[in-house]
Structure formats: structure tokens, C-alpha cells
Amino acid sequence: MPNLKLFLENNIGDLIKITITERKDKGFGAIYVIHNETTNQIDCRYIEVSNPAFNPELLEQFKKFEEENSSSIIYFILIEEKGCEIVLFDLDSRNKK
């Protein structure tokens, strides 16, 4: 199985652009990053929290994120066999570098 964190690191610029565009268009949410075993590719999809496809087990946590965290933070959900990991990325700290 590919390393999803490495994929995220290697593609962060494009994923940031996608997140900003999608968040403006659809509302608060996260990019789901998952290895597609059928195609052996990594699939990425932005899903807003109001979408029924958003993982219901994560809804409460994401509602808290939206209320408590700065809007400069974007979210990635890395989905692997053993479960999922939420990665937060602060655009403000990236822009200061």
C-alpha cells in the first residue's frame, strides 16, 4: 500500500489549491485521500461536511474544528486499512516560510 502521508507531502501545493476552490464553492469539509486497490492509484476527493458521503463518525469532530479552528486550517483524511488519520495543515504557517 502506498504511503499516503508521502503522497500528501509530494502533492501539497495542488491539494491546497483544490481545497481552497472546493471550500469556497461547497463549504467546509476535507479532502479524503485513499488508495484505490482496483486502479492502484491514490484517489482524492473533497467532501463537505453537509454531504451525506462525509464520514458520519467524524462529523462531530469536524463541527468542532469549524467552530474552534482558524479558517486558515485545511483538513485531509487519510484512509487506510487500519482506519483513518486526520491531518491538519495551517496555510498561514506555510505562507510565513
pLDDT digits (tens, 9 = 90+) for 4-22: 999 999 999 999 999 999 9
Q: Using the structure block, give the residue that is written with the C-alpha cell 453537509.
A: 50
> What pTM value is reported for the model?
0.90
Residue 2 confidence (pLDDT) above 90: no
What is the C-alpha to C-alpha distance for residues 14 and 8, in angstroms, rounded to an integer? 10
pLDDT-based confidence at 56, cuts 50/70/90?
A: very high
What is the C-alpha to C-alpha distance for residues 40 and 43, in angstroms, rounded to an integer? 9
Contacts made by residues 44-49, CB under 8 angstroms, sequence distance 24+: 44/15, 44/18, 46/18, 46/19, 46/22, 48/22, 48/23
Residue 1 confidence (pLDDT) above 60: yes
What is the C-alpha to C-alpha distance for residues 34 and 4, in angstroms, rounded to an integer? 7
pLDDT (tens digit per residue) in 82-93 = 889 999 999 988
